[in-house]
Structure 1
């Protein structure tokens, strides 16, 4: 059972099982993990590649007290050294401004 928001849309039924409807999104890692201006760079070849956009699956959302929306997203981050394994992140709260709906 994952993180369910009041805005999660479900498919299926109680007999065959219910599952959240997944919406394909792009997660802009550059914006999500923005570095502070002027931060010194230390390259770690085996670190996570936090550049570009990765595919994600949006399955819920929550509003903040200030009216900003956060999506509940599953996505993967690659390692900079090109290994096949990825870091799989489940039920992450991600600001909508770093998401892009995939068609």
Structure 2
């Protein structure tokens, strides 16, 4: 079940099934999970790698009371130790300022 926002675009029909239209985005993890300046690092080699960008799939959006937009996004985060498994995140609210549309 996909989180249905007021701005989710659907394709298909009731006979063959409906699914949300996905838009490819890039997510800046270092901006989404910004560290407080001056906070000391405690490296955990098996932790999540929250640096750089990852690909995601945008399928809806919500406005905040302040007029900012949050995208409903599915994406994966890798681990710092390079293992093949990834943490799969579904229907996450992500601020638009950390998203970029992929070509």
- TM-score, normalising length: structure 2: 0.99
1:69 aligned partner:
69
Structure 1 residue runs without a partner (length 5+) = none
1:81 aligned partner:
81
1:51 aligned partner:
51
1:7 to partner: Cα distance:
0.2
1:26 aligned partner:
26
1:94 to partner: Cα distance:
0.2
CA–CA distance in structure 1, aligned partners of residues 52 and 72 of structure 2: 20
CA–CA distance in structure 1, aligned partners of residues 25 and 39 of structure 2: 29
1:38 aligned partner:
38
CA root-mean-square deviation? 0.3
1:2 to partner: Cα distance:
1.6
Structure 2 residue runs without a partner (length 5+) = none
CA–CA distance in structure 1, aligned partners of residues 43 and 66 of structure 2: 36
